[in-house]
C-alpha cells in the first residue's frame, strides 16, 4: 500500500485546475444504462472509483471507449448481464446506483448489498422502499438485492431522510416508469442537479431540479443523438484545496470550478480570515500569511455545510486561533480522523456527534492512518502544518476521490511525495 510523506511548513501559492466531480460522474455513468443510443461524457475525473464504475459497466458487457482526452463513450447495446457483483460493490458503495437504471430499463437487476463502511452503517432501505412503492419486487438473499418489475410505475414518494444516492437511484428508475413520480424531501446537492440535467439531455422529463420536490414524467425510451455531456466541477476537491491554502496562510487561485456550489464553504472560510474573490468559474483565496481563526460548523444536507468537508475543516481548526465546535449530523461515525490528529498533538474532545477543538499554534508530525476518503485528505492537510514529516498510510482511500493529489499540492508549493510500499 502506498504512503504519502508530507514535510510541513510550506505556504501554498499558485494556480490549479479543478477536476470533474466524482459524485456527479458516478451517477451519470450509471445513468448511461438508460440510453439506447451511445452517449459521450467529458470532464470525467481520473479516479479509482471511476475505474471501478467502468469495470462494473464492462462486467455487464457494455462497450466503453475512452479517447485521448479521457472522454468516455458508453454504448449499452451489447449489455449481457444485469448484475453488480460483490467483488466490485465492496470497494465502492456507489455501485448501488446501477440498481434503479437496470430495473427501469431491463426489468431486472441483481446488485450486491453494499455492507458497512468506516463512516457508519449506511443502509439502502430508502432506495428499496421507494422502488417497492413503484411496483418492484425485491428480495434480499445471499447478500444480493434481486429486483424485478415488468414496468415500474410512477407514484408519490416522501423520502424519510434526505439521501443523495437514494434520490439519484429513484430519479433514474422513474425516468422510464409509467406515469409521473414525485419525490418529496429529495436531496438538493449540485451533483443531483447535474444528474437531472444529464437525464433531461437523454430525453427525460424532470422538473423541480435543485428543489426538494422533484417531478419525473416517465417516457417510453431514451435515444439521444450525438450527446456529449460535460460533468460539473468537483466542489469537494475545490473546498479541500481552499482549506489547504487557508491552513497554510497561503494564496491560491482555482480554475474550472463552480463557486455557486460552495457558498457555505466560502462563507466559513471568510470567517477564518480568508479574503476570497470569485468569478463564474474561478475562486481566489488569500490568507495574507495569517493563522486562521477557529470556525464552528454543523454538517447537514445541501445547502448546509457538507459532511464531505467536515474533516478538512477539523484539520484547519486544530491550528486556528480560538475554540470551535464541530457537529456531524449526517453520518454517525465520522470522527475517525480526530484520533489521528490527536496523535499529532491536536487538542480535541469528542462528545457524541460533537467535537470541541482548542486551536494550537502547530501540530507535530506523526505516522497516521487514513480511514476513509475525506479523513485521508484531512490528514494530508494536517501534515502541511505539522513540524516534521507526516506519513499518511492507507492512501488508497485518497485515490478514490482526489485526482493526482500529490502533483496538485506540489504545484502549489507543498513538499509531498508518494512512497510505494
Ligand atoms: C453521498 C455521497 C457522499 C456524501 C453523502 C452525504 C456519493 C457517491 N456519495 O453518499 O460523498 O458524504 O452523500 O452528503 O454521492 N440513509 C439511510 N437509508 C438509506 C440511505 C441513506 O438511512 O436508504 C442515511 C445514511 O445512513 C446517512 C444519511 O442517510 O446517515 C445520508 O446518506 P446519503 O445521502 O444516502 O449518502 P450517500 O448517498 O451514500
285-295 pLDDT, tens digit per residue, is 999 999 999 99
Q: Is the CB of 107 under 6 A from ligand 1?
A: no
From residue 200, alpha-carbon distances to 95, 104, 205, 322, 395 in Å are: 22, 16, 6, 48, 37
Cα end-to-end span (Å), the chain? 5
Predicted pLDDT at 63: 97
Question: Of 117, 201, 278, 404, which residue is the catalytic one?
Answer: 117
Q: Looking at the predicted structure, is the pLDDT value of residue 119 above 70? A: no
Sheet arrangement for strand 213-217? 156-158, 180-184, 213-217, 205-207
Q: Is the CB of 52 under 6 A from ligand 1?
A: no
* Mean pLDDT value across residues 303-311: 98
In the numeric block, which cell numbers belong to residue 157? Answer: 414518494
Phi first, then psi: give them for residue 71, nearest 5 degrees: -75, 145
In the numeric block, which cell numbers belong to residue 225? Answer: 443523438
| Cα 122 to averaged position of ligand 1 atoms, centre (Å) | 7
Predicted pLDDT at 120: 57
**Cα 170 from chain centroid (whole Å):** 18
Length of the chain: 421
Q: Which residue's CA lies nearest to atom 4 of ligand 1? A: 308
In the numeric block, which cell numbers belong to residue 391? Answer: 506519513
Helix (H) or strand (E) holding 220: none
Tens of pLDDT along 55-68? 999 999 999 999 98
| Cα 308 to averaged position of ligand 1 atoms, centre (Å) | 11
Which SS3 state, helix, strand or coil, does residue 421 take? coil
Predicted pLDDT at 115: 62
Atom of ligand 1 nearest to the CA of 306: 14
Closest C-alpha to 202, from 185, 184, 227: 227
Q: Which of 50, 145, 164 to mutate to test the pocket of ligand 1 (most atoms within 8 A of CB)?
A: 164
Phi first, then psi: give them for residue 206, nearest 5 degrees: -115, 130
Q: Is the entire prediction scored with pTM above 0.75?
A: yes
How many whole angstroms separate alpha carbon 260 and alpha carbon 257? 9
| CA geometry: angle 277, 310, 336, nearest 5 deg | 150
404 has catalytic annotation: no
Tens of pLDDT along 230-276? 999 999 999 999 999 999 999 999 999 999 999 999 999 999 999 99
* Mean pLDDT value across residues 370-392: 95
Q: Is the CB of 89 under 6 A from ligand 1?
A: no
Amino acid at each position: 500500500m502506498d504512503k504519502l510523506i508530507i514535510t510541513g511548513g510550506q505556504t501554498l501559492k499558485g494556480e490549479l485546475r479543478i477536476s470533474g466531480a466524482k459524485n456527479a460522474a458516478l451517477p451519470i455513468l450509471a445513468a448511461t444504462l438508460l440510453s439506447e443510443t451511445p452517449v459521450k461524457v467529458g470532464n470525467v475525473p481520473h479516479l479509482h472509483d471511476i475505474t471501478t464504475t467502468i469495470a462494473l459497466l464492462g462486467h455487464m458487457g457494455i462497450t466503453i471507449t475512452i479517447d485521448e482526452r479521457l472522454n468516455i463513450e458508453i454504448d449499452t447495446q451489447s449489455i449481457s448481464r444485469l448484475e453488480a457483483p460483490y467483488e466490485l460493490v465492496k470497494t465502492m458503495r456507489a455501485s448501488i446506483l446501477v440498481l434503479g437504471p437496470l430495473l427501469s430499463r431491463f426489468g431486472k437487476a441483481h446488485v450486491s448489498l453494499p455492507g458497512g463502511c468506516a463512516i457508519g452503517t449506511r443502509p439502502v432501505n430508502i432506495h428499496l422502499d421507494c422502488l417497492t412503492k413503484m411496483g418492484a419486487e425485491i428480495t434480499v438473499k445471499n447478500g444480493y438485492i434481486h429486483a424485478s418489475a415488468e414496468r415500474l410505475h410512477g407514484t408519490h414518494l416522501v423520502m424519510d431522510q434526505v439521501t443523495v444516492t437514494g434520490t439519484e437511484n429513484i430519479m433514474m428508475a422513474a425516468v422510464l416508469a409509467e406515469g409521473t413520480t414525485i419525490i418529496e424531501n429529495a436531496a438538493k446537492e449540485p451533483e443531483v442537479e447535474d444528474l437531472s440535467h444529464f437525464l433531461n439531455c437523454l430525453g427525460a422529463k424532470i422538473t423541480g431540479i435543485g428543489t426538494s420536490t422533484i417531478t419525473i414524467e416517465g417516457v417510453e425510451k431514451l435515444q439521444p443523438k450525438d450527446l456529449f455531456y460535460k460533468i460539473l466541477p468537483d466542489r469537494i476537491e475545490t473546498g479541500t484545496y481552499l482549506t489547504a491554502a487557508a491552513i497554510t496562510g497561503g494564496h491560491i487561485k482555482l480554475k474550472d470550478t463552480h463557486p455557486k456550489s460552495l457558498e457555505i464553504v466560502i462563507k466559513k472560510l471568510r470567517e477564518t480570515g480568508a479574503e476570497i474573490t470569485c468569478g463564474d468559474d474561478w475562486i481566489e483565496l488569500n490568507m495574507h500569511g495569517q493563522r486562521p481563526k477557529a470556525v464552528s460548523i454543523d454538517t447537514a444536507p445541501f445547502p448546509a455545510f457538507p459532511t464531505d468537508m467536515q474533516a478538512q475543516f477539523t484539520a484547519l481548526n486544530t491550528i486556528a486561533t480560538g475554540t470551535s465546535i464541530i457537529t456531524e449530523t449526517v453520518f454517525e461515525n465520522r470522527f475517525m480522523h480526530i484520533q489521528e490528529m490527536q496523535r499529532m498533538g491536536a487538542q480535541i474532545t469528542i462528545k457524541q456527534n460533537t467535537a470541541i477543538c482548542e486551536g494550537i499554534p502547530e501540530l507535530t508530525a506523526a505516522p497516521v492512518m487514513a480511514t476513509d476518503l475525506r479523513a485521508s485528505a484531512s490528514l494530508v492537510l494536517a501534515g502541511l502544518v505539522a513540524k516534521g514529516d507526516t506519513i499518511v498510510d492507507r492512501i488508497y482511500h485518497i485515490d478514490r476521490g482526489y485526482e493526482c493529489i500529490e502533483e496538485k499540492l506540489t504545484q502549489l508549493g507543498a513538499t509531498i511525495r508518494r512512497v510505494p510500499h
